[in-house]
Amino acid sequence: MKIKKVYNNNVALAEDYTNFEMVVMGKGLGFQKKAGDDIDKDKIEKTFVTTSETFVNNLSELLEEMPYEIMELSKQIIDMAEKELATELNDTLFLTLTDHLQFAIDRVNRGFPIGNALMWEVKKFYQAEYRTSIKALELVENKTSVTLPEEEAASIALHLFNARQDSAAMNETLAMTTIVNDVVTIIKYHFGMSFNEESMNYSRFITHIKYFAYRTLRGEYNDDNLDALYDQISKRYPDAYACAMKVQEYLIKQHHMTMTYDELAYFMIHIHRVTSREKNK
């Protein structure tokens, strides 16, 4: 394997004997090396397949500027996450997570607060990813002596969820997209309104629908026996209840899916929140 381009002491573009290109990373891998030199394979810690020129350009731009310690930390978190979640994670996660970690650590060092408005949803509906992300925060602290707030676990969890590469991921993504679009359409027609798709309430609502669809497509149901909450919410928000029943009917007929009382209760809360905010505007 020979070097085609050296990005820095730790990253290089390489080519094997079949002229197959890849980006390789490893401590000292590119030190005092130039195009045409052989690569010490024992120093390679991570390999990225050059799926597109855009990916290579983005990766090289990031890795040229990023401290090696952060790259190494990101790799450790991804390796740990793949074991914890028992799945392969997309290579693009290294790009997004490395950049995110550097930004978060820099904010904490500068004394800027970190928040996450989706923390409640992530903690409840992305439980496996969230537990893994709590361990990621421990790795960050051990590696950098920087303590990131718990809100940061929610952000990392979303990165992990988006990077999943399960065998059924494509079909699930297509089905999930259809369900989200159809549910939003039902709500729009029921209330006779459009939504500000840039608002946080809309973003939280879409996240809720996406993860409900994801879990249900996999046969995972969330039920905390909140029958009393369901009764209370349905009486308090009758319009949201009527809309939720339409959505339930659609899910049963089109996808053979049904929401538990727990899910219906939270669904009605989200419907009321997102529609009432739009009405007030």
pLDDT tens track for 267-276: 898 899 888 8
Q: Work out the angle at residue 158's Cα, subtended by the Cα atoms of residues 157 and 163, and round it to the nearest 5 degrees.
A: 100
User: Which two three-digit tokens encode residue 187?
Assistant: 């709500």
Domain boundary at 116, 147, 162, which? 162
- Indicate the average pLDDT of the chain: 83
Q: Which of 129, 145, 162 is the last residue of a domain?
A: 162
Q: pLDDT, tens digit, for every residue of 250-267?
A: 999 998 888 888 888 888
Start-to-end CA span in the chain (Å): 61
Within a domain: 60: no
Residue 216 has pLDDT above 80, yes or no: no
Instruction: Find out whether 39 and 24 touch, Cβ atoms under 8 Å.
Output: yes
pLDDT of residue 17: 78
224 and 178 fall within a common domain: yes
Which CATH number fits the domain that encloses residue 47?
2.30.24.10
Domain that holds residue 98: 68-162
Is pLDDT above 80 for 31?
Answer: yes
pLDDT in tens, 234-252: 999 999 999 999 999 999 9
Q: Is the dihedral of CA 202, 168, 82, 47 positive or negative?
A: negative
**Residue 96 placed within a domain:** yes
Same domain for 155 and 184 = no
CATH classification at residue 208: 1.10.1790.10
Residue 192 and residue 241 in one domain: yes
Q: Are residue 122 and residue 215 in the same domain, yes or no?
A: no
Are both 208 and 238 inside the same structural domain? Answer: yes
Size of the chain, expressed as the number of residues it contains: 281
- Residue 39 pLDDT: 86
- pLDDT for 57-93, tens place per residue? 777 777 777 888 898 899 899 999 999 999 888 877 8
pLDDT band at 167 (very low <50, low <70, confident <90, very high): very low
- 154 φ/ψ angles, rounded to the nearest 5 degrees: -65, -40
Comparing 277 with 265, the larger pLDDT belongs to: 265
Q: Is residue 63 part of a domain?
A: no
Residue 262 placed within a domain: yes
**Residue 150: pLDDT above 80?**
yes
Give the other-Cβ count within 10 Å of 155's Cβ.
21
pTM greater than 0.95 (yes/no): no
| Count of the separate structural domains present in the chain | 3
Q: Which residues pair with 47 in a beta bridge?
A: 24
Residues 25 and 116 in one domain: no
Among 110, 143, 162, identify where a domain stops. 162
